[in-house]
Structure 1
Amino acid sequence: MYEVTFQFDNGESVTSFATSGENLLEVARKANVPIDAPCSGNGSCGKCRVRLLAGGLNSTKTRHITDAEYEEGIRLACRSTICDEVTIGVPDIASAYKSRMKVADLSSKDEIKIFEEAKHKVIDADIPLSNTMRVVEVLMNSPTLDDTMPDNERFERALKHEVNSNIARIPYSVLKKMPDVLRSNDFKVKAVIRQTEKDVFVYDIYGIDEKVIIGGLVVDIGTTTVSALIINMENGQVLAKGSTGNGQIRYGADVINRIIESQKPGGQEKLQRAIVDETLNPLIAKMCSETGFDPDHIYRMAVASNTTMNHLLMGINADPLRKEPYIPTFFKTNSLYASDISIHIHPDAHIIVSPNIGSYVGGDITAGTFVSMIWNQPTFSLFIDLGTNGELVFGNSDFLMSCACSAGPAFEGGDISCGMRATDGAIESCRIDSDTMTPQFKVIGEKDTKPVGICGSGIIDLIFELFSCKIISPKGKFVREGERIRHDHYGMGSYVLVFREDAGGEKDIEITEVDIDNFIRAKGAIFSAIRTMLATLGFDVSMIDDVYVAGGIGSGINMKKAVGIGMFPDISIERFHYIGNSSLTGAYTMLLSTQAEKKTYEVARNMTYLELSTVSGYMDEFVAACFLPHTDSRLFPSLEIADQKGEV
């Protein structure tokens, strides 16, 4: 057995033990050390970079590490095995998982604007903004020798009279604190309840003079990123907002790799712990700490996530999702409570799960479709959610059709050597001077924040600029030379966006031909899915009235540039609308409004799911779309006109 020490940039360390020949990435996973591994250790992404600080490793040199970097001790964890006691440096840069947990400053109107707009949309659709949760005062007579009714019966009788209900349910958590709260408040209390036509459920009791806020938790579990809100259930006020990387990322960037990992011994428990113990609970604690809100006062939770994430969250076997006929354990469930999966909020908090539609179209899309309101419009609209899976919904108030395509993690920075999610230090937009090939860019964060990587919206900009400046060919190959153009000993070209001395990390921020190819495949998956779904219905792109684009890939996509690389159809730019994280916003409306929750279930029931893999011609469409902008230039007439005018 050898001692393996993992040293972090902040000075902390973790020590584990391993046998000779054991894979370093697997050792890190067993020790709960977060090393970004989007390809789940198959050596293709090159992101599990670590530094050999002391001792020895058996490491295979790959194209992802230069000779100079190898001499400096840089290794790939997935291509290294233990042969001695060793100390490993784990970097904290440009990582989808280790990107810093962030709690938003709610004094900024931009942070809450989208949720205020969502409330107005719900009201405009004649859906009331009310739910079954409320606070009531319960007044009782104190017991005497002549009135010896037990506390729970005394409380139940008064509560049922107050709310006009025949049945009241009191859980153990309330029963335990009841004698003290009643007596310290002279049998005059407030109760947090959920009231339905059938009964009233008591979540908590307080003293009559205490200020009580009914907290609700909204969570969007993305494959790469997790976002959350704490809200006041009575008025919809956003009390806290935060985001972090999904702790499951080190088990693979996509759902298939994670499902495969979950099938290994103890795998389901590992994947569940990664999302619950390492991601959700720390994020909840952080938001509550910074706002002074007690997590035990969160009495209801809404979750919107894809079908696989839902299964892994609950610790349910997800393997049937990846095997024909691709059947999930559930589309809809109302039987989940916080205590069932150890979420650190009130143990009796009911968890609302936005309903899934298919094996690869989940509750995040249902929630997003609801809040986009395309189901409430007579015109034809296209809803696109850009994430690790690209999901699409097309239709109007008469019909809805959905499908999913395997876009991969490129839109969220995965499979891109300099990629990262949209957080501090990410380049989110850029321009390139056609003559000098010098870039200008915008970085997320404070004014002097140094760039450490590039997020999805920035990658779209960068590839468009490289193509329009004729630095790369329609196949994504470099065709110009200059200070910023490099070629490795394999002949692969790259463009340096930020030189090492100006970056916030240890290396240049560059995009390679492999990166560009990965992104072309991702955008090709989106465009070919759009064309295939429309063709199945007998439509073409000219019949699209509006396009709603969702996903947390940046503060906003430059739609003109997205069209310019062939990701979106060539229709009027005015028809495109970026609506941000619609999954989170949709789950927010579900939590706040009981009728919105019911309507979301209805939207899911009325949606037809198209399995693209069964559609003949889809692969031909995909191959044709893996080009800038497309092998058929007639599909993008506006680009030819702009090129002739010198506007591209």
Structure 2
Amino acid sequence: MFKITFAFEDGSVVETYANAGDNLLEIARDSNVAIDAPCSGNASCGKCRVQLKEGELDSKKTLHISDEEYDLGWRLACVSKIIGDVTVLVPDIASAYKSRMKVADLSSKEEIAIFERAKEDVELTGIELRNSLDVIEVSMDEPSLEDTMPDNERLTRALKKYMNLKQVRIPYMVLKKLPDVLRENHFKVKCVVRTTPSDLFVYDIYGMDEKVTIGGLAIDIGTTTVSGVLINMETGEILAKASSGNGQIRFGADVINRIIEQQKPGGKKKLQDAIIKETINPMIAQMCKSSGLRASQIYRMCVASNTTMNHLFAGVNADPVRMEPYIPAFYKTNSLFASDLGIAVNKDAHIIIAPNIGSYVGGDITAGTLVSMIWNRPEFSLFIDLGTNGELVFGNSDFMMSCACSAGPAFEGGDISCGMRATDGAIEACTIDKETMEPSYSVVGEPGTKPVGLCGSGIIDVISELFMCGIINPKGKFVREGRRIRHDKYGMGSYVIAFEEEAGSVKDVEITEVDIDNFIRAKGAIFSAIRTMLSSLDFDVSMIDDVYVAGGIGSGINMRNAVNIGMFPDIPLDKFHYIGNSSLTGAYLMLLSTTAEKKTYELASNMTYMELSTVPTYMDEFVGACFIPHTDTGMFPDVMKDQQNRK
């Protein structure tokens, strides 16, 4: 056995032991050390860089690390094997995905406005913002030698009389509290209950003088990021909001790698623990601390996520999702409770899951469709959720069709040599001077934060600017020369956005022709999916009245630039609307309103799902879209006109 020490830039260390030949990335995963590995250890992304400080590793050379960097001790964890005691430095950039827990400032009007607007929109359709949870007050006669009825029957009788119901259910957690609470309050109490037409379930019991808040939790489980809101179920007030990186990321940036990881011994529990114990439960603790609400006062939870994330969250085998004929274990289920999954809320809390409608179109899209309101408008609208995958819904109040395209991790910075998620140091916006080719950019983080890479919105800006300035051609190849354009020994070109002395990393921040090619394929997947879906209905892009863009990357997207590179259709910019994290907003509405929950199930059941891989014309559309903006420039007249004006 050899001693393995993971050192971090803040001075902390994690020590563990391993056998000769063990893989360093696997050791890090088993030790809960966060090292980014979007390709799940296939040595194709080059993101799992660590620096050797003491000892030796059996680590083969890769194209992702230069000779100079190798001499300085830089290695890829995924290709490094243990041959002795070793100490490695895990740089902040390698663990950036496991960002610090963020609890939103709810004094921000922007934070609240999205949810308030969503409530107003659904109420205008006749959806009532009420749910089945309530607080009721009951009084009982105190027991005596003449009245020896046990406590549970006494409470049951009082509740039946009060609510005029035949059945009352008192779970174990309430039964444990019952004797003390009743006697301390002279048999006058408040009960948190869920009422249905047939029965009443008692979640909790309090003294008459206690302040009772019925808490609810809405969670959006994204492949990359998890977001949540803690709310008052009676008023809809948001008590706290938080977000965090998805702890499963260290097992791969995409759902396929995570499904494969789940099939390994202990994989189901490992993936489930990563999302629940490492991600959701700490978020709950932070939100409860921020709001002053106890976790045991959270009596209901709603989860919106894609089909694979639902399975990994529930600890259910997801392998059939990726294997033909792509049949998941469930599209919808009402059988999950907090105690089943180890979620740190009231043990009897019911977990609502937004319904999936296909193997790759999940509850995040059905919840988002509810928020987009396209189901309540006669105009033809397109709803796009941009994330690790791209999902689309097109339709109006008469019909809706959905599909999903495998855009890959490029929108989250994966498959891009300098790509990263939108954490501190990420370039999120960029312009380039057409004459000097010098860039101007903004960086995520405090003022003065140095750039270390590009996040999705920054990549879109850079590629758009390079094309519109005539620095690259439609194939993404460099056609101009200058101090920021260089070529390696193989002739591959790159554009330097920040030289090493300007950057917060050990190398230049640059985008290469390979990076551009990877991103062109990602944007091509989005546009070809739009075209394929519209063509199947005998529609074209000119018939789109509105485009609603959702997802984390959507907030930072410059819509003009997204059109310039051919990701979105060339239609008037005023038709594009950003609607925030619609998955989380939809989960909030489903949590707050029983009618909204039922409406989401109705939308899912009425939506047509198109499996793009079975459409013969999809690959032709995709190939055509793998140029900037497209092989058929006639589809992008405004883009081509603007480019000519800038030259």
TM over 0.5: yes
Q: Any residues of structure 2 matched to 1:229-308 within 5 Å, and which?
A: 229-308=229-308
- Greater Cα shift, 275-284 or 312-321: 275-284
In 2: Cα distance, 1:471 partner to 1:206 partner: 69
Q: Match of 1:443?
A: 443
Aligned: 1:380 with 2:380: yes
Task: Give the CA deviation at 1:96.
Answer: 5.6
Instruction: Please give the per-residue CA displacement for 1:147-195, whole angstroms capped at 9, x wherever unaligned.
Output: 2211111111122222232211110000101111111112111111111
Say if 1:226 and 1:246, in contact at 8 Å, map to a contact too: yes
Aligned partners of 2:286 and 2:416: how far apart in 1? Answer: 30
The code of the aligned residue for 2:457 comes to S
Of 323-332 and 8-17, more deviation after overlay is shown by: 8-17
The secondary structure found in structure 2 opposite 1:253 is: coil
Tell me the secondary structure at the aligned position of residue 78 of structure 2.
helix
Match of 1:159 in 2: 159
Task: Tell me the TM-score normalized by structure 1.
Answer: 0.97
Q: Where do 1:626-645 residues align within 5 Å?
A: 626-645=626-645
Larger deviation, residues 163-172 vs 613-622: 163-172
Task: Sort the Cα spacing of 1:503 and 1:241 in 2 relative to 1 into closer, same or farther, 3 A.
Answer: farther
Counterpart code for 2:203: Y
Which residue in 2 is equivalent to 1:312? 312
Cα shift readout 1:101-136 (whole Å, capped 9, x = no counterpart): 211111111111111111111111110111111111
Tell me which residue corresponds to 1:487.
487
Kindly tell me: are residues 514 and 231 of structure 1, through their superposed partners in 2, closer, same or farther at Cα, counting changes over 3 Å? same
- Residue deviations 1:6-44, cap 9 Å, x none? 112222222222222222111212222221110011111
Indicate the SS of the match to 2:145. Answer: coil
2:92 counterpart letter in structure 1: D
The more displaced of 376-385 and 449-458 is: 449-458
The match for 1:615 is 615
Higher mean alpha-carbon deviation, 408-417 vs 395-404, is at: 408-417
Look up the match of 2:557: 557
Counterparts of 1:193-592 in structure 2, within 5 Å, are: 193-553=193-553, 555-592=555-592
Secondary structure, aligned partner of 1:249? helix
Query: 2:444, 2:46 → 1: CA distance?
Result: 24
Report the Cα distance in structure 2 between the residues aligned to 1:451 and 1:294, rounded to whole angstroms: 40
Question: What residue in structure 1 maps to residue 81 of structure 2?
Answer: 81
Q: Please list the CA deviations of residues 26-66 of structure 1 after superposition, one character each: whole Å capped at 9, or x if unmatched.
A: 12122222211100111110001111111000111111112
Match of residue 179 from structure 1: 179
1:94 to partner: Cα distance: 6.3
1:256 aligned counterpart, secondary structure: helix
Q: Is the 2:96–2:423 contact (alpha carbons within 8 Å) kept by the matching residues of 1? A: no
The verdict on how the C-alpha distance between 1:506 and 1:135 changes in structure 2, with shifts beyond 3 A counting, is farther
The answer to whether the 8 A contact 2:47-2:94 is kept is no
Q: Give 1:88-103 correspondences, 5 Å limit.
A: 88-93=88-93, 95=95, 97-103=97-103
C-alpha distance in structure 2 between counterparts of 1:500 and 1:294, whole Å: 48
Report the 3-state secondary structure (helix = DSSP H, G, I; strand = E; otherwise coil) of the residue aligned with 2:276.
helix
What whole-Å deviation, never above 9, does each CA across 1:365-410 have from its counterpart, x for those lacking one?
A: 0000111011111111111111111111111111111111100011
The CA deviation at 1:273 is 1.1
The CA deviation at 1:491 is 3.1
For residue 554 of structure 1, report the CA deviation from its aligned partner.
5.3
CA distance in 1, matches of 2:179, 2:502: 64
Structure 1 554/403 Cα, relative in aligned 2: closer, same or farther at 3 Å? closer
Q: Percent identity?
A: 71
Aligned to 2:47: 47
The answer as to whether partners of 1:564 and 1:629 remain within 8 angstroms in 2 is yes
User: CA contact under 8 A between 1:301 and 1:350: conserved in structure 2?
Assistant: yes
Give distance in 1, aligned partners of 2:606 and 2:73: 56
Q: What are the superposed Cα offsets for residues 74-102 of structure 1, whole Å, 9 maximum, x if unpaired?
A: 11011111111101111222656322221
**Offset at 1:426?**
2.8
Stretch moving more, 473-482 or 584-593 = 473-482
* CA deviation string 1:301-354 (max 9, x = no partner): 000000000001111111111111100000010000011110111111100000
Match of 1:4, SS state, is strand
Q: Distance in 2 between matches of 1:93 and 1:392?
A: 32
Q: Is the 8 A contact 2:36 2:47 kept in 1?
A: yes
1:141 maps to which residue? 141
Question: 1:215·1:232 contact (CA, 8 Å) conserved in 2?
Answer: yes
| Structure 1 residue 146 displacement after superposition | 1.8
Determine if contact 1:295/1:344 at 8 Å carries over to the other structure: yes
SS at match of 1:555: helix
The SS at the match of 2:352 is strand
Equivalent position of 1:27 in the other structure: 27
Verify the 8 A CA contact 1:99 1:245 in the aligned structure 2. yes
Give the SS at the match of 1:634.
helix
SS at match of 1:501: coil
State whether residues 92 and 98 of structure 1, in contact with CA within 8 Å, keep that contact through their aligned partners in structure 2: no
Contact 2:50 2:94 in 1 (8 A): no
Contact 1:65 1:74 in 2 (8 A): yes
The size of the alignment, in residue pairs, is 647
Summarize the Cα distance change of 1:152–1:564 in structure 2 as closer, same or farther, 3 Å threshold. Answer: same
Gap change, CA 1:96 and 1:255, over 3 Å in 2:
farther
The worse-fitting range, judged by mean Cα deviation, of 494-503 and 400-409 is 494-503
Q: Secondary structure at the match of 2:486?
A: strand
* Aligned counterparts of 1:2 and 1:95: Cα–Cα separation in 2: 24
In structure 2, C-alpha distance between the alignment counterparts of 1:98 and 1:305, rounded to whole Å: 19
- Aligned AA (1:623): V
User: 1:517 aligns to what SS in structure 2?
Assistant: helix
Letter of the 1:72 counterpart? L
Moved over 4 A (4+): none
Task: Give distance in 2, aligned partners of 1:53 and 1:437.
Answer: 39
8 A Cα contact 1:217 1:228, kept in partner = yes
Q: Which moved more, 1:565-574 or 1:478-487?
A: 478-487
Matched-pair contact (CA < 8 Å) for 2:189–2:205: yes
Deviations 1:403-446 (A, max 9, x none): 11100011122222332333443322111111222222223344
The worse-fitting range, judged by mean Cα deviation, of 164-173 and 417-426 is: 417-426
Q: Distance in 1 between matches of 2:98 and 2:361?
A: 27
Pairwise CA RMSD: 1.5
State the secondary structure of the residue aligned to 1:470.
coil
Change (3 A) 1:112 1:499: farther
Query: Distance between the aligned counterparts of 2:298 and 2:61, measured in 1?
Result: 50
Q: Over residues 216-241 of structure 1, what are the superposed CA-to-partner deviations in whole Å (9 max), with x where a residue is unaligned?
A: 11111111111111111111111111
Query: Structure 1: how far apart are the matches of 2:160 and 2:427?
Result: 58
Q: Distance in 2 between matches of 1:321 and 1:538?
A: 30
Paired letter, 1:499: F
Structure 2 counterpart of 1:262, which letter?
Q
Task: Verify the 8 A CA contact 2:36 2:94 in the aligned structure 1.
Answer: no
Where 2:7 maps in the other structure, the secondary structure is strand
C-alpha contact (below 8 Å) 1:46/1:417 kept by paired residues? yes
Taking the aligned partners of 2:515 and 2:286, their CA distance within structure 1 comes to 34
Paired letter, 1:606: N
Q: Does the C-alpha gap of structure 1 residues 115 and 392 become closer, same or farther in structure 2, counting only changes over 3 Å? A: same
Note the residue ranges of structure 2 that are not aligned, 5 or more in a row. Answer: none
The Cα of 1:609 is off from its aligned counterpart by 0.6
